[in-house]
Structure 1
C-alpha cells in the first residue's frame, strides 16, 4: 500500500477511534480560525471603507476651525507663501443648539428634537472644490431649496427617514426643511469630533443666516500635494500671528485615526482574542499529541520494528493534525464571511462600501495560513519524540523514554512515594489526599488546565474592564475634565460675556447648585520649531477640579500644566520652563514670561493639545466651560434642561451624558468585544475541560481500576477526579484574575500609547463584583459542570477491565 493510502486509512481509523477528543480539538481550532479570519476581514474592510470614503469625499489634509472675524488678506498671503498647498477653501457654517432643531416623522407624526445630543449641529452648503458630503450611494448631493441632508448618526439615533420634516428654530420663527437623504462626513464621522454637519441649499443657508439664531463658524481647509507634510503646514500656520485660530486645528492623520478607532477596536479585540485562543489551541494540541503518542507507544514501536522510519510515522500523525487544521481553517473562514458582514454593516453606513479586491481574499487567507503554519510547526516539534523513542522500550515497556530517562523518572517516583505514603496519613479525607498526590505526581499534565483557564480569564476580564472604564463617571477626571454634574459650554458669540455673567449669577443663587468653577478658553503663544506657535489654554482655578495628573500637580501662579501630547511636542517635563506670551498681532517677545511646568495630564479634547493656566479670565476669551455640582436631591438632567431653555446660546449638558456620547465610538466597540470574549471564553472552557478530562480518564483507567480493586467505591473514585479538576480550574481562574487585575493595566497602556491619542496611562475602573466575582464563578462553574458530566461514565464502567489499562 502506498504511503498516501496508509495515511488516509490511519487518519480515518484514528478519527473513528477517538471522536470526542478530535471533535473538541477541531472545534477549538475552528474558533481560533474564525476569530483570526474575522478580525483580519474586519480590519481590511475598515481600511477599505475609509479609503473609499476619503477617495470620494477628499477631506482636507489640514483644517482650522474658527469663530469670529476673518482676515482674508492674511489667508491669501499664507496660501501664496506655501506652494505645497494644492487647494484651499473657507467653509461657512451656522451652528444651532440641539433644542432648536426639531424633527417629525412623516409616517407616524411622532416628533422630538436634538436636545439630548451633545454634538454641535452645523448647517453648511456643499463644497465645490473638495471635502464633499456624500449620500448613501457615494454621490455628491446638491439639495434643492427646502431640502436637507441629515448626518447618518442622527438617522440611526432618531430613526429618521426620507420625507420626514426638520424644523430649525430661528430668531424670526421656524424654518421648515424636508429630509431628502443622509450624508456621510469624512471629516466628522467620529463622535469625538464633537460636531456634525447638515447639508442645505445656498438659498436655505442664506435664509437661516438672515433669520438669526445660529452661531457663525468657519473651517479653513487645505489640501496639500503631499498629505504627509500636514504637520509642517500646521506649525507654519500657528506661527503666523495674523491667521485665525479661534478653534481646533486637525490634520488628516487625526481624522483618519478617529474614524478608524471605533470599528478598529473591534478588529483588534478579535485578533487579540484569536491569539489567546491560538495559544490555548497550541497548548492543548501539544497535550493531545503527547497523550496520543503515550497511548499508542506500542503501535509506534511495532511500526519501527518492521522497518518503517520515524519520519514516515511522524508523517502519519502530522497528516491527521494537518487534516483537522485544514478543516478548522476552512470552516472558520467560511463562518467569518457572514460574521464580518454583520460586524461591518454599521461601518458601511457611516463610511462607504469598500469594493472587493485582491486584499479582500488575500488578507484572511494569509491570516488563516499563518495560523495553520503555526499549529503544524508545533505539531512537528512535538512529534520529534517519535524519532527518539527506543524500539525495545516502546514494545516491551510501553514507554517513549530512554533507559536513562526511565530510571530517572522511577527514582523521582520512589522519592515522592516515600514522602507521601498513604500509611502515614492520619486524616479522614483520604480522597482529597489522594487527589492532591495525583496532582503533584502528574503536575506537568494537569498544568494544562490552570494555564488555559488563566488565559480565558484574561480574555474575559480585559474587554469588560475597558468597557466599564470608558462608561465610568470617573473617566472624565482621568482625561483632564473636572469632576462635575453639569457642563455649560459657552462659545464665541456677540453676547458671550453677558451670557456668562447672567448664567454665573443664576448658578450662584441656585440652592440646588453646590459648587461652580469657571474655565476660560484662551489663546497664548509659545516658542516652537518654526517660531512662536498658538497654544490653546484653559484659564481659571484648577486646584478644586479633582483632575488626575500623571505627573506633578495643578498650576499655581507662574506655572502651567500641559497635556501629554503638548508635553511631548515641546519636550518638557515637570520643573521645566516654557515661555508664554499673549496671542495676537500685538504680541512681542518682550511680553513673554517664563512659566514652570507644574504637571502633566491626559486629555482627549481639542485633539489632545491643551494646557492649563491659573488666573482670572480675559474679557477677550474665546469661550468658557462652566462646571457645576448639584445636591443629591437634584436631577442633573432636569437642571440642565431648565438652564438650556433659559440660555439658548449656551450648551448645558449633563456631564455623564456628555462623556457617554463623546466616548460612544469606543463603548459600542468594547460592548461587542466584551460580549464576544465572554461567549468564546465559556465555550472554549467547556471544550477544553471535556477534551482534557476525556483523555485523562483514558490515561488513568488502570490506576482507577486498581483503586476499585482495593476497595474504593465508584463514588470515591469519581470524587477524586472531580476534586482534581475543580482544584486545577480554580487555580487557573484565580491566577488569570490576578494577572488581569495586575498586568492588564500595562497591556492597555501600551496599546493606547501606540494609538497616539494623548493617553499614556489609563486607570481602569472595573465593575469588581462582575469581573472579579461573577466571571470567575462562571468559569469555575463551567469547569465543574463539564467534569461532572464527563466523570459520570465511571459509575457505569466495567472497572475490572480497566485493570488491564
Structure 2
C-alpha cells in the first residue's frame, strides 16, 4: 500500500518532486566532484613524486662549483641516501623558438638538461622516464598548454653564432618545475646534443640534489648543509615545498569548489524545508483525514519519509554517477601536469561517502520537519484547510493612506512586512545566491588585476628586468642601472638585489634567509602590518617567514652582516606567494658571495612605449628577462585564472538555478496558501495582471534586500574565506579588487531578470482560481 501511495504521490506532484530531485542531485554532484578532485590531486602528486623519485633537498646554484667538495661531504653524511649534481645549460628566451616567434617575453628561466640517472626523473605524459635521441627534444607541459604544441613540431635554438633545430618527441612532467608559479623549466635533449649546446650557447647552472634516508630529518639536513660552507648561490627548495607548489593551482580551485559545495548544501537544506512545507500545505486536509480516521502519526510520517528517502537516495546516487563524468572538467589540469595515479577504492569511496552525507542530511532534515505533524489538529485542519502557522505582523500601513504607489505594489510590500517570518527563508536564499555568484567573480578580478603583483612580494611597476647569472654579472648590473638612470623615458626606477644571509635560529645555529636589498619606497608593497624598513637595523619579513620564525612587529632577530652578528628589528610583514613565500627585505649592502638574482623595476613616462622599451632592454642586456608586469602575472597565474573562470561560470549557473528553483517553489506554496485572499481580490474587481504584479513585487522586494546583504557579505566574509584558502601559499589577507559593473550591476540585473520571469511563470496558476469554487469550499 505504501509503495502504491508513493507512486501516486510522485505522479500527482511531478513539479515539486522534480525540483527537489534536481536540487539534491546537484548538491551530491558538486560535493562528489569536489571531494574527487581533492583525492585526484593528492594521489596524483604522490604518484608523480614516487615515479620521478623527487629529491628531498635541492640547492640551486649559479657560478663556479666544486663538485668534489660536495661529493665528499655527501658521502660522509649519514642522512644521505643518494645525491647527484644536475648540470643545466640556461639559455635566453630570445634564443628559443617554439614557433615563428621567440620566447623573448617569457618570465621563465629555460634550462636544457639530459635525463637524470639516479633520481629526479623527468616523465612523459604516460608517466614513463623520458629518453630522447640526437636531434630530439622533450618540452615541459607548461609550453604544451601555453603554446598549443604537438608531437613532431620543431624547436629552434638560435643565438646568432649557434643554430640548431630539434623535433618534439615528448612532453615533460617535472615534479620540481611543473607549476607556472615556478619560473624555471627543464627541456630534455640527448647527451651529445647537450654537450654541443654547452659549448655553443647559454650559461651553466646546477641543481645539487639529495634524497635522504629519513625525509622527516630534512630540516636537520638543511641546517647541516648550510653550516658546511658548501655552494649556495641560489635558493633552497625542499620536498614539502615541491608538494605545496604543485598543489597550488588546482588546490585553490578545489578549495573554491568545496566552498561552493558547502554553501550549496546549506541551501539544499532550505530547499528541502521549502518543498516539504509546500507538500504538507497541499496535503493538509489529506493528513487531517488520515488522523481523523485513526491512522497513527508514525505511519503517516513513514509515508512521507519513504517518499523523500526514495527520492534523495536516487538523486544522491545519480549525482555521484554524474560526478564521474563532470569531474573530468575539473581534473583535466591535474591529469596534464601530474598524470593519473592508479585508482584505488578510496577514489570511489570518498566521493560516494560525500554523496551519502547529502542523503543522510536530507533524511535528517525530513525527520526534523515531520515533527510538525505533532501540532496538526484534525478538527482545525478540516475546518480551515490551512497550516495556520503564518505569523501576521500588524503594521500601520493603510491602503486608504497610500499616496506614493499603485495598489498592487502597495499590497505586495505590505504583505512582505506582515509575513516577515515566512519571507526570511526566501531572503536567505537570495543572500547566499548573490554571495556564491559575486565572490568567485571578485576573486577572479583580483587575480587578474595588476595590483595582485603585491601578493607576490613585488612592487607594482611598468617593467621588471631580471638579470641572469653570468661571469660578468656585476658589471652588467652596474651598466643596467646606469642606462636606466640616464634614460629620459624612465619616470622612476628601483634596483633590487636578493642574496642570502645567515640568520640565527632558536637553537643558536644559523639558517639561510633570502633578503632583498634596495630602496623599497619607489614601488612600495602593501604590508599586512607595519611598514618597509627605514634603517639598516630594520627588516621586513614575508608572512610565511614570520609564521615559521614565530616573529611579529617589533620582535628581534640576529642576522650575520659582513661576518658580524647584527640585531634587526621586524618593521613590517608582507605577503608573498612566490618561492614558497619565504623572503625578507632590508636596507643592507647585499652579500656579493651569495647573490640569488638582480632585478631593476621601472615606470615609464609614456606607457605606450612599453613594448618598444621591453625589446630595447632585452636586446641590449641579453641574456636578461624583461617583462611587463601584466605579462608576468599572466604567465605565472594563467593556469589558475583559466581554472577559476570555469568555477566562476559554474557558480553563476548555480546561483541562477538556485534562485529559479526556490522562487518557483516558494511562490507555488504562497499561491496555494493565498487562494482565499486571491478569490476575495478577484471578487473586488482586481484584474489578474494586477494580482500577479503583487507577487512579482513581493519577490523583487525580497531580492533587493537579499542582493544588498549578499554584496555586503561578499566584500566582508568573502575575502576572509579566500584568505583562508590562500594563507597556506603565503597570502593570508586578500583584499578584493571589485569591478562595480559586474558585482553591483550585471549580477543583480541577472538575478532580477531571472526572478521576474520565474515569478511570472510560477503564478500563472492564479488564472485557474474560481471564485465560486472558493465560496463553496
TM range (shorter): over 0.9
- Please point out which of 590, 610, 623 is paired with 1:649: 623
Q: CA deviation at 1:696?
A: 1.6
Does 2:155 match 1:166?
A: yes
Shift of the 750–141 alpha-carbon distance from structure 1 to 2, 3 Å rule, reads closer
Shift of the 628–273 alpha-carbon distance from structure 1 to 2, 3 Å rule, reads same
Shift of the 420–512 alpha-carbon distance from structure 1 to 2, 3 Å rule, reads closer
Does 2:518 match 1:518?
A: no
CA distance in 2, matches of 1:434, 1:217: 77
Does 2:12 match 1:17?
A: yes
Indicate the larger mover: 368-377 or 776-785: 776-785
- 1:531-550 correspondence to structure 2 within 5 Å: 531-550=509-528
CA distance in 2, matches of 1:270, 1:799: 50
- Please point out which of 729, 736, 749 is paired with 1:777: 749
- Please point out which of 680, 686, 706 is paired with 1:706: 680
Classify the secondary structure of the residue corresponding to 1:150. strand
Indicate the larger mover: 450-459 or 661-670: 661-670
CA distance in 2, matches of 1:514, 1:421: 66
Q: CA RMSD in A?
A: 2.2
CA distance in 2, matches of 1:77, 1:578: 33
Match of 2:280 in 1: 293
CA distance in 2, matches of 1:180, 1:101: 17
- 1:392-541 correspondence to structure 2 within 5 Å: 392-398=379-385, 413=392, 416=394, 419-420=396-397, 422=399, 429-530=406-507, 531-541=509-519
Match of 2:34 in 1: 39
Match of 2:646 in 1: 672
Q: CA deviation at 1:574?
A: 1.6
CA contact (8 A) 1:61 1:224 kept: yes
TM-score by length of 2: 0.95
Match of 1:191 in 2: 180
CA distance in 1, matches of 2:61, 2:506: 23
Q: CA deviation at 1:691?
A: 1.8
- Please point out which of 196, 212, 216 is paired with 2:204: 216
Match of 1:225 in 2: 213
Q: CA deviation at 1:270?
A: 2.2
Classify the secondary structure of the residue corresponding to 1:192. coil
Match of 1:85 in 2: 80
Post-superposition Cα deviations, 1:762-801, rounded to whole Å, max 9, x if no partner, equal: 1211212111221111111111121122224434643443
Q: CA deviation at 1:627?
A: 0.2
CA contact (8 A) 1:40 1:364 kept: yes
CA distance in 2, matches of 1:140, 1:635: 46
Classify the secondary structure of the residue corresponding to 1:127. coil
Q: CA deviation at 1:484?
A: 0.7
CA distance in 1, matches of 2:252, 2:430: 24
CA distance in 1, matches of 2:158, 2:514: 32
CA distance in 2, matches of 1:151, 1:440: 62
Q: CA deviation at 1:329?
A: 1.6
Residue segments in structure 1 that go unaligned for 5+ positions in a row:
1-5, 105-110
Q: CA deviation at 1:81?
A: 5.3
CA distance in 2, matches of 1:347, 1:441: 53
- 1:185-334 correspondence to structure 2 within 5 Å: 185-211=174-200, 213-238=201-226, 240-334=227-321
CA contact (8 A) 2:492 2:522 kept: no
Shift of the 74–686 alpha-carbon distance from structure 1 to 2, 3 Å rule, reads same
Match of 1:54 in 2: 49
Indicate the larger mover: 278-287 or 303-312: 303-312
CA contact (8 A) 2:501 2:591 kept: no
TM-score by length of 1: 0.92
Q: CA deviation at 1:11?
A: 2.0
CA distance in 2, matches of 1:346, 1:534: 34
Shift of the 123–489 alpha-carbon distance from structure 1 to 2, 3 Å rule, reads same
Post-superposition Cα deviations, 1:494-545, rounded to whole Å, max 9, x if no partner, equal: 0112211222222223222111110112221110145011111111111222
Match of 1:760 in 2: 732
Match of 1:605 in 2: 578
Shift of the 428–437 alpha-carbon distance from structure 1 to 2, 3 Å rule, reads closer
Q: CA deviation at 1:73?
A: 5.0
CA contact (8 A) 1:39 1:266 kept: no
Post-superposition Cα deviations, 1:650-689, rounded to whole Å, max 9, x if no partner, equal: 1111111112211224222211111111122112222222
CA contact (8 A) 2:178 2:185 kept: yes
Does 2:126 match 1:149?
A: no
CA contact (8 A) 2:499 2:592 kept: no
Q: CA deviation at 1:198?
A: 0.5
Shift of the 618–528 alpha-carbon distance from structure 1 to 2, 3 Å rule, reads closer
Classify the secondary structure of the residue corresponding to 1:480. coil
Match of 1:108 in 2: none
CA distance in 2, matches of 1:552, 1:433: 54
Q: CA deviation at 1:704?
A: 0.4
CA distance in 2, matches of 1:561, 1:74: 35
Post-superposition Cα deviations, 1:255-281, rounded to whole Å, max 9, x if no partner, equal: 112212212233222222222222112
CA distance in 2, matches of 1:90, 1:56: 20
Indicate the larger mover: 458-467 or 785-794: 785-794
Match of 1:798 in 2: 770
Q: CA deviation at 1:748?
A: 1.7
- 1:339-358 correspondence to structure 2 within 5 Å: 339-358=326-345
- Please point out which of 679, 685, 709 is paired with 1:735: 709
Post-superposition Cα deviations, 1:622-671, rounded to whole Å, max 9, x if no partner, equal: 43110011123533233112211222121111111112211224222211
Classify the secondary structure of the residue corresponding to 2:352. helix
CA distance in 1, matches of 2:127, 2:344: 18
Match of 1:136 in 2: 125
- Please point out which of 356, 364, 377 is paired with 1:390: 377
Indicate the larger mover: 525-534 or 162-171: 162-171
Residue segments in structure 2 that go unaligned for 5+ positions in a row:
none
Shift of the 370–206 alpha-carbon distance from structure 1 to 2, 3 Å rule, reads same
Classify the secondary structure of the residue corresponding to 1:554. coil
Does 2:541 match 1:562?
A: yes
CA contact (8 A) 1:248 1:607 kept: no
- Please point out which of 41, 58, 68 is paired with 1:63: 58
Q: CA deviation at 1:166?
A: 1.8
Q: CA deviation at 1:95?
A: 0.9
Q: CA deviation at 1:183?
A: 1.5
